[in-house]
Amino acid sequence: MALTTEEIIATWNGALQIKGEEYDKNGNVVSAGLRTPQIGAYYSALAHWTISKRHAIIVMPTGTGKTDTMVTLMVGNLMDKLLIIVPSKALREQIGERISKFGVLSELGCISESATPPRIGYLKKGLKTLSDIEEFFTKFNVIIATASIFRNFPNGHLIKVASLCSHLFLDEAHHSQAPKTWMKIQKAFQNKPALLFTATPYRNDELKLDGVEIYNYPLSKAQREGYFTEIEQHPIYEDNLKLADEAIAKKAVELLEKDHKTFPKHLLMARANSIARAEEIFTIYHKFYPQYNPVLVHSNLPEKKRKELQLQFENGESKIAVCVDMFGEGYDLPEIKIGAFHDMRRNITTALQLIGRFTRTKKGLGKAKFVFNAAEEQAAKEIQKLLGEDANWNILIPNLTEGKSRKEQELSTFVKSFNLPTKLPVQNLRPALSLVVYKSAQDFWTPEKFREHFNSKNLFHINDLSNKKNTLIIVTAEKIQLDWMKSQEYFNIEHHLYVVHWLKKEKLLLIHSSKTNGNYYKGLAKALIGNDCRLVNGENVYRALQGIERLKFHGVGLQEPHGTSVSYVQRAGKNVVLGTSASDLLNRSKRLLQGSGYKNGDQTNFGVSSKGRIWSLQRENIVDLISWGNEIALKITDSSIDTSSFINHVAFPQLIEKRPQVRPFFIEWNSSLYSTTYLKFSISTLSDKFYYIPNLDLQLHNPSSNGNLSFKIATNDFVSHYELRINKGQQFEIEHVGGPSLYFHDPSRKSLTEWLTENPPTIYFIDGSYLFDGNSYVKLGQKLRQFDFDKIRTIDWKTNGVNIRRESKGFENPEKTSIQFFLIENLKQKDSNYDLIFNDDDKEETADIVTAKINDQTNQIFIELYHCKYSSEDNEGCRVGDLYEVLGQAQKNIRWLDDSYSFFQRLISRENSLINKNSKLTRIEKGDLALLRSLSNKARRDYQILIKVFAVQPGMSKSKFLKRSEDSNEVERLFAVTEDYIKATKQGDFFVICSS
């Protein structure tokens, strides 16, 4: 007679023996047992359940034995009735089969032979009545279901399920934020012990799993202990993406054939992003490698056919499978060892899950090998790191995973520090960065008194306190009277978040709330730190802007002097133009400032109100909000910061009705183009010949201090002329005045004149002022740095045989008397100083000469940009005209380094373009293409980029400059403007190389 479920559980009592693997001194397993992560997770769960009912997260890398950990917990804790939720049908059957045999416990001798395996029930369809649910669930010890089964379950039915079960396990729990399935189940089980098992505890949408992390086994440790096989990456580099699929397939099959000499069971899986792409890729394998009987498996196939093809692959009849989803999440087939990534995953979470399918270990199998196109651009920064052809995935993947995990653990530690088992999902909060700061007269706070502040309008509140982190979080619900009806029955409910943080040493209380509208939370502050508290406001708040350079305001509110007809003026907008100058700030009270600038070389945005509120535009998690808030609070209470040193010299844009009577310095594309995607934009002629933006030369034409602002767009094939005209009434127009008509593609086609009018270029002038958005003019109000004359370096050019009126070296027949030739040869002599010396001389160059030096110990790349210009006369002097273009290039071309990865990719593209014209020519004076690719990949792996910019003009004499003539003063200002721009926008250093 079959045992009942209770009798089965009784056979488990005392049947489990926990023993771990034993190793010799070389790290080899000499005695089988449970793996280290399985034992760690087991005891972590048992310990957690002794003190808390909160749902808990266990992080175990793919291949470390999550399912066997579940079995061990089930038996060791004598679980009365366990519900396991999985993401797919395939995983449902796979886990069920393993649990029904006690997983590895029997093989390892960790469970007594007297123990009876659990009775497994597979919930494959909805149960219609409560009695149906009870009848089904009472039959089994373990019920396994996909989350989707519960999508249409009535709440009452789900509560019934929870009442019948003792425990809940969620497998692949990164799915658990799906509101209609996983979250619904977890909520029903809120009072029952639950474990969330996952290899990746973070999600692409940044929603946090609803639980406290109790165990996280590092991927790097899993690799060291042999649970995660070593990875080999085999990148191909194919710029022509149409040829990339064939190249990836060829390389992958070569690896498969090589592996089969030692590991005949190895299989190759080719991955695509869609069924259409999979069909396209399958034709390649079917055409060129029929001997391996490739199969195409995807969800549009009938289930019977799909299983047939999958079985054919599993038993080795087919050695190659082309698919989209790796046969479903959690699929376990260790023999898959060659991965052909025709389409990489666009985010790190799914990419790492995918890679984990290939790295499962099994006796008699070799390393995992991956083939991918390193030339393909990807969206996510982490994916770019993985795509690097010299990237060591054995280091990178654990680092990426553990880097993410460290952030998660930091947040998890913060969440665990709260006192109450709150229903508030602290880990999922994403507040906007904003706060007010109160100064306290006492050195303690009373967070429990927060209720004194909230009135009867608040229907309820959820709160939680972390004494360890001195943080109080409150969520309120408030009745809001309808503006279109007076009624006690009808109203809106408005929820608001409050985050309060106490800095004990500084006696500062930081308050963030989603409820703004002039509210400064005085009552809440009094309740928490006493009636003597003082809001930090007035001029003090503008200290928050300290350290932000090239401040540009998009909005301003000013209080007019007493006695004027208008007491307060505020202007704001996308391209706000303020009828205000920097001096106006001295005569009016500043009430509100918002805008942008550069901090440590990165763009940043800000908002400050004299009433006390400080904000930024991004949203972050609670830990980041508090970190940002602490920095702001310490700034605005620092009496040593003098706001007049930067506020009263701010650059204010003004709408103008005529062009500035200053000589233009240089011109650059609209800032909207300077991103990682701008390289893909193109311009075409009427004949539909296409030119990519980076290959076009945008230059000022005949610059002068008056007349219309003329510029040209040029290639070796054409020159097209345009004029920017500023008219009365604060209007402007851009007109095509010569050369071929051009069209802009993004990807829709429109007249370039129309596009330029919508996205006007930015024009910089020799005094540091600039014109943007057509007629918005900014004069630099801040005092420029004084240029250090020691940064002017000299060379005796003529003694070294240099013709100072010849600039370029050229390529086919190098001009050996040129400035560039001599400089390159001089740089080569400093052999140990550079890994790369690159001749980028040509239209839209990054610089005439680019050098780079890598320091892998400090993760730094040192870049030097040399901009060369010939002398206008045979003799050296102090001529302003000789410096306009070279200093303009030094400023303009620094923008290529807005994205350092794209910067090196651009050099690669320009080298390949020259080789395609003439295979005997090269731009690379030292190094090679492999080094350039390595630099590119290191740049996208968070190597710090340190920049020096050199303006080279042999026509300038340092000694004549130092005589301090009228021209010298103008030259000095040009040097200061250039240095200021490079320092503010890229934290770069600026130098001049000239004659003595």
Question: Could you read off the pLDDT of 602-655 as tens digits, one per residue?
Answer: 778 888 888 899 998 788 888 889 999 999 999 999 999 987 766 655 656 777
Task: Give Cβ neighbours of residue 568 (< 8 Å, ≥ 6 apart).
Answer: 557, 558, 559, 560, 591
Whether CATH 3.10.450 fits 789-995: no
Identical fold, 5-217 and 229-393: yes
Residue among 330, 322, 313 at smallest CA distance from 267? 313
Q: Regarding predicted confidence, which is higher, 780 or 70?
A: 70
Place of tokens 């709150």: 422
Confidence of residue 736 (pLDDT cuts 50, 70, 90): very high
Distance set, CA 286 to CA 242, 300, 321, 372, 933 (Å): 18, 19, 10, 19, 32
Which pTM does this prediction carry? 0.57
Q: Give CA–CA dist 384/239, Å, rounded.
A: 16
What mean pLDDT comes out for the span 72-82? 94
Q: Which CATH architecture has domain 229-393?
A: 3-Layer(aba) Sandwich (3.40)
Distance set, CA 79 to CA 42, 166, 182 (Å): 14, 7, 21
pLDDT score recorded for residue 572: 45
Q: If 0-12 CB within 10 Å is exposed, 13-18 middle and 19+ buried, where does residue 155 land?
A: exposed
CA 581: distance to chain centroid?
Answer: 37
Contact 193, 167 (CB under 8 A): yes
Q: Give CA–CA dist 50/53, Å, rounded.
A: 8
Q: What are the tens digits of pLDDT across the range 958-996?
A: 999 998 777 788 888 889 889 988 887 888 999 999 999
Percentage above 70 pLDDT, the chain: 82
Q: Give CA–CA dist 298/88, Å, rounded.
A: 14
SS percent in the chain: helix, strand, coil, step 5: 35, 25, 40
Q: What are the tens digits of pLDDT across the range 143-202?
A: 999 988 888 888 889 999 999 999 999 988 766 555 568 888 888 998 999 999 987 655
Segment (H or E) for 864:
strand 860-868
Confidence of residue 326 (pLDDT cuts 50, 70, 90): low
Q: Regarding predicted confidence, which is higher, 649 or 942?
A: 942
Contact 210, 183 (CB under 8 A): yes
What is the three-state SS of 59-121?
ECCCCCCHHHHHHHHHHHCCCCCEEEEECCHHHHHHHHHHHCCCCCHHHHCCECCCCCCCCEE
Longest pairwise C-alpha distance within the chain: 111
Helix (H, G, I), strand (E, B) or coil at 291: helix
Structure tokens at 329: 């999440």
Contact 317, 349 (CB under 8 A): no
Q: Give CA–CA dist 604/598, Å, rounded.
A: 6
Q: What is the dihedral of CA 381, 383, 388, 391, to 10 degrees?
A: 100
DSSP string, 669-691: --GGG-STTGGG-EEEETT--EE
Q: Where are the beta strands (DSSP E) in 275-335?
A: 295-297, 320-323
Q: Give CA–CA dist 709/724, Å, rounded.
A: 5
The ranges assigned to domains in the chain are: 5-217, 229-393, 426-535, 540-649, 656-778, 789-995
pLDDT score recorded for residue 516: 77
Does 877 have pLDDT greater than 60? Answer: yes
Contact 69, 58 (CB under 8 A): yes
Structure tokens at 333: 């087939």
Residue among 280, 310, 284, 307 at smallest CA distance from 295? 310
Q: Which CATH architecture has domain 5-217?
A: 3-Layer(aba) Sandwich (3.40)
